[in-house]
Amino acid sequence: MGSDLPRLEDFERIVFFTGAGLSAESGIPTYRGSGGLWAQYDYEDFACQRAFDRDPAKVWTFHDERREAVAACEPNLAHRIIAKIQREKTATRIVTQNIDGMHQRAGAVDVIELHGSLWRVRCDACGAEKEDLGLPLLPKRCKCGAWWRPAIVWFEDPLNFDVVEAAVRAIEACDCLVGIGTSGEVYPAAELPLIAMRAGAVTLEINPEETPLSPLYTHVLRGPATEMMALLAG
């Protein structure tokens, strides 16, 4: 973090590419690594379409618990700084792997959610999708008769093509990409920062630990997201 560290105020088309590490300071557990959610639970029982087809009530109970835990948390300083920058620089885009909705609760808009949202449900039978903020949700049926399921990308689900295209367009147009709290291990989302790197954008990584993409970033900041974002924002 020397004197060559860029100032975000010098850029107009910033993309914040965020992952679970950003929300960890809000008390939301990460999914991978020591203490991560998938170290405690088998996704084949709770987070794939096959599990839902077998026992929708069991899967919904699991996701209701996630929603209750997230609802008890608050956006942290880094979320709020990102939302403030977006208000001041309207070309700012936010691309997130998180499903917690913390960016929106901090005041951000038009968030590109690569992996969906805990706060929406969808029906794969008829294609309907809607916001549902109720707690608990528990299994409910769509008007077509099929089960509503969480509108998130489970294991074995493909990413939504239109959402990925929106993310690619945003990253292709950026002059600065800030990756925050992403492990660099979840594909294909982990490949998206490479688009900005190849296009010559200034790239910054904020993460307490090294990731597979760390050597490719222009600048690397090691530390908590809240402290590093406060430093960048001046």
Residues 6+ apart with CB under 8 A from 205: 179, 211, 213, 214, 217, 219, 220, 221
Q: Are 220 and 214 in contact (CB under 8 A)?
A: yes
Q: Which of 63, 79, 103, 115 is catalytic?
A: 115
Report the amino acid identity of residue 141. Answer: R
Residues 6+ apart with CB under 8 A from 55: none
Q: Are 32 and 41 in contact (CB under 8 A)?
A: no
Q: Describe the crossing of helices 77-88 and 225-233 by its angle, rounded to 10 degrees.
A: 30
Ramachandran angles phi, psi of 111, nearest 5° = -75, 130
How far apart (Å, rounded) are the C-alpha atoms in residues 3 and 150?
Answer: 45
Sign of dihedral through CA atoms 142, 67, 57, 127? Answer: positive
115 is catalytic: yes
Q: What is the 3-state secondary structure (H, E, C) of 185-219?
A: CCCCHHHCHHHHHHCCCEEEEECCCCCCCHHHCCE
Kind plus residue range of the DSSP H or E element containing 221: strand 219-221
Catalytic residues: 115
